[in-house]
Structure 1
Amino acid sequence: MKLTDIYWHLRSDISKIEKELEATVDAKHPILKKASSHLLKAGGKRIRPVFVLLAAKFGNYDIEKVKQVAVPLELIHMASLVHDDVIDDADLRRGKKTIKSKWDNRVAMYTGDYIFARAIEMTTNCNKPEVHQILSDAMVEMCIGEVEQIRDQYNWNQNFRIYLRRIKRKTALLIAVSCRLGALAADAPRDVQLSLYRYGYNVGMAFQITDDILDFVATEKELGKPAGSDLHQGNVTLPALYSMEHDEELRSFIMKMIKGDKPDKKVMKVIIDKIKASGGVDYSLEVSDRYLNKAYKELENLPDIPAKDSFYQIAQYIGKRKF
């Protein structure tokens, strides 16, 4: 099953979100317009707006109100990707040229800033002060997560706690907030909002861990970028972290081969094969499953409506996805 099959019943409202995204990133300046449009056309799972829409089903669902939350959340995610690509010096995302590659770093940074600004501007249409507070807190935490990732580049001695805190800030938090704000925008009961927030957090952690696993096991065609890109850039993710912790020889080999240089594909393949053989991928899958089980547990507290089944299916998809 494809992810889009799970929320096919939302296709009409997702189409509205897509059109709103196009209208929102439209800019008077020609370069900003082209760069923003290029990013939007690169596609994406639109998983955050989907979580918003599904969460809103637990309250008084009104797409005109809910989109005032769904669109800004996706814009914030998009803007963070543009900045990520500058930091990581990435030429490809989803198999297409990044903005920094197609234009340059300055255009990319200003495009990311512009998209962030448009997201904040759109949230002013929402008359719930709590939405603004939750969203701004999340953006602060995301920025801290990005700075921590820069700080920990090529830090081969970091521990699991540092990694988990970083992916919480980089990925899980925005997914958790998407679930909570969707419910909040639809005036769902507070206990439902908080259950959905915890569900989103656990799914978000599993989502990022799965991403980190795929960086070692998926093909370049599936990833839209070279396999092992994270480690290549000095970003130590869970499979590598586990493997280096349990194999000192492997740690020394990785530290020797990746020193801020860019090893060739043959060397990266050797490193990837060693990480797989040492159990790093299997352990990471176990950790991902633990988070997914916590997500399922949160769903047990929610009313039995179709959106609940969709949340179950999305969590199952994340645990099994190949790219």
Structure 2
Amino acid sequence: MKLKDLYSFLKKDLQQIEDQLVQSVRSDQTLIHTAGVELLKAGGKRIRPVFVLLSAQFGTYNIQQIKKPAAALELIHMASLVHDDVVDDADMRRGRVTVKAKYDNKIAMYTGDFIFASALKLMTEIDIPGAHQILAQGIKEMCLGEIEQINEQYDTDQNIRKYFKRIKRKTALLIALSCQLGAITSKADVSLQKKLYEFGFCVGMAFQITDDILDFTASEKQLGKPAGSDLKQGNLTLPALYTIYRHPLMKEKLKLYYESKDAALLAELLKDIKRLGGIEYATDISDKYLKRAKQAAASLPETEARDSLLKVADFIAGRKF
């Protein structure tokens, strides 16, 4: 079953969001417009807009209002990816050439800024001050998460607690905000807003941990980038951190790789992390977050939206790319 089958009743509303995204990246500057359209064509799971729409079902649902934060959150996500590709010097994403690689760093940075500004402009059409405050604080936290990742790059002495803090800010928070802002915009009960935030946060943590596992276990064709890219770029994720914590010799091998950049040594490290239990440990942690997410969703009113939230959580647990 495909992800979109889990919320097929939202098909028409999701098309309105796609139309809104196209409108939001329009520009009379050809390069920015072309880059923005190419980003939209690259697709993506549209997880954040889906969570906005599903969460809005627990209040007064009005697609003309809800589509604004839904599109805005996807635009913020897109802008962050464009900037990430510049920072990471990445040539490929989702199997496509990045804006940075096709044009250059300057075009990529300004394209990201333009998309980000488009998101903020769209949010101004939502007359709920609390929503703007929550989103602004969330964006600040995302930036702190990115800085933390830069500071911790190639740091073999970092602990697992720092990793959790980093992925909370980089990934989980925006998914949590998608659920929260969907509920706020539809004026759902405050108690439901809190439950939906908890669901989104836990799903977001599981989503990122699963991504980090797949970087070791999926194929280059599935990932749209070479396997082991995170480790190669000095971004130590949960499978690697667990392994070097439990096996000190692995830390020395990793340090040697970062000094030598020996491709054969990287291949050894990838095998070692899988052999020494890093994948199993990370999978167990991901499963625990998913259990918490499903507990939060189970306490919501019994609706088609709640069933879809539970199904999406299960899908994330079982995805292969």
TM-score, L = length of structure 2: 0.98
Query: What secondary structure is seen at the aligned counterpart in 2 of 1:7?
Result: helix
Q: Distance in 2 between matches of 1:316 and 1:301?
A: 17
Counting only pairs closer than 5 Å after superposition, residues 89-108 of structure 1 correspond to structure 2 as 89-108=89-108
Q: Which residue type is aligned with residue 65 of structure 1?
A: Q
Q: 1:278 aligns with which of 243, 256, 276?
A: 276
Counting only pairs closer than 5 Å after superposition, residues 1-323 of structure 1 correspond to structure 2 as 1-259=1-259, 262-264=261-263, 266-323=264-321
Contact 1:176 1:196 in 2 (8 A): yes
Give the superposition deviation at 1:300. Answer: 2.3
1:95-124 Cα deviation digits (max 9, x unpaired): 000111011111111111111101001111
Q: Which residue type is aligned with residue 47 of structure 2?
A: I
Query: What secondary structure is seen at the aligned counterpart in 2 of 1:291?
Result: helix
Q: Which residue type is aligned with residue 287 of structure 1?
A: I
Query: What secondary structure is seen at the aligned counterpart in 1 of 2:126?
Result: coil
Q: Distance in 2 between matches of 1:268 and 1:319?
A: 27
Query: RMSD of aligned C-alpha atoms?
Result: 0.9
Give the superposition deviation at 1:312. Answer: 0.5
Query: What secondary structure is seen at the aligned counterpart in 2 of 1:26?
Result: coil
Q: Distance in 1 between matches of 2:297 and 2:48?
A: 18
Which residues of structure 1 form unaligned runs of 5+? none
Identity over aligned pairs, percent: 52
1:109-149 Cα deviation digits (max 9, x unpaired): 11111111010011110001111001101000000000110
The alignment of Structure 1 onto Structure 2 pairs a total of residues equal to 321
Q: Distance in 1 between matches of 2:227 and 2:95?
A: 12
Contact 1:232 1:263 in 2 (8 A): no
Query: What secondary structure is seen at the aligned counterpart in 2 of 1:235?
Result: coil
Query: What secondary structure is seen at the aligned counterpart in 2 of 1:191?
Result: helix
TM-score, L = length of structure 1: 0.98
Which residues of structure 2 form unaligned runs of 5+? none
Structure 1 ranges of 4+ moved more than 4 A: none
Q: Distance in 2 between matches of 1:314 and 1:197?
A: 15
Give the superposition deviation at 1:268. Answer: 2.6
Q: Which residue type is aligned with residue 286 of structure 1?
A: D
Q: Distance in 2 between matches of 1:232 and 1:225?
A: 12
Give the superposition deviation at 1:262. Answer: 4.4
